Amino acid sequence: MRTALAAASLLFLTAACTPTATSSSNASTPPAAPTPQASQPAQAPPTTAAAPEVKTCTVPNVVGMIHQTAQDTMQKAGLFFLTEEDASGQGRLLVNDRNWKTTAQNVSPGTVVDCDTKILLTAQKIDG
């Protein structure tokens, strides 16, 4: 829309500034100076939009739960940005979440946070 308006304005200004043939009786009269034209289209006044409200969630206590249950509990609370790590420090992936027990969480239970907050759950492999 803005491009089309700019192109139309440019076309209009080009046509207005193009010299035209003059009759022989006006040959000694100098051409009139072009009148200034607005080079930019009128802009709408800026609007003030209300800032979007941040959705908050209360972090549940999931320490001691089977890791799959801990994830489900976090998601029921509205927290979906979850990461996980092996508590032993061996860097193992928590492939089967039901074989792991959650031993820690990086955000304290009961804390009210933005629902997009990243939550780290630490878990220990259940022997068996």
Q: Which residues partner with 57 through β-bridges?
A: 113
Band the pLDDT of 1: cuts 50, 70, 90.
very low
Q: Is the pLDDT of residue 26 over 60?
A: no
Q: Is the pLDDT of residue 100 over 50?
A: yes
Query: What does the pLDDT look like over 58-88, one tens digit per residue?
Result: 999 999 999 999 999 999 999 999 999 999 9
Q: What does the alpha-carbon distance between residue 26 and residue 16 come to, in Å, rounded to a whole number? A: 19
Across the range 89-100, mean pLDDT stands at 92
Q: Is the pLDDT of residue 126 over 50?
A: yes
Across the range 6-29, mean pLDDT stands at 54
The pairing of beta strand 56-58 with beta strand 112-114: antiparallel
- Domains in the chain, please, with CATH? 56-125 (3.30.10.20)
Q: What does the alpha-carbon distance between residue 113 and residue 111 come to, in Å, rounded to a whole number? A: 6
Q: Which two tokens stand for residue 29?
A: 């009269």
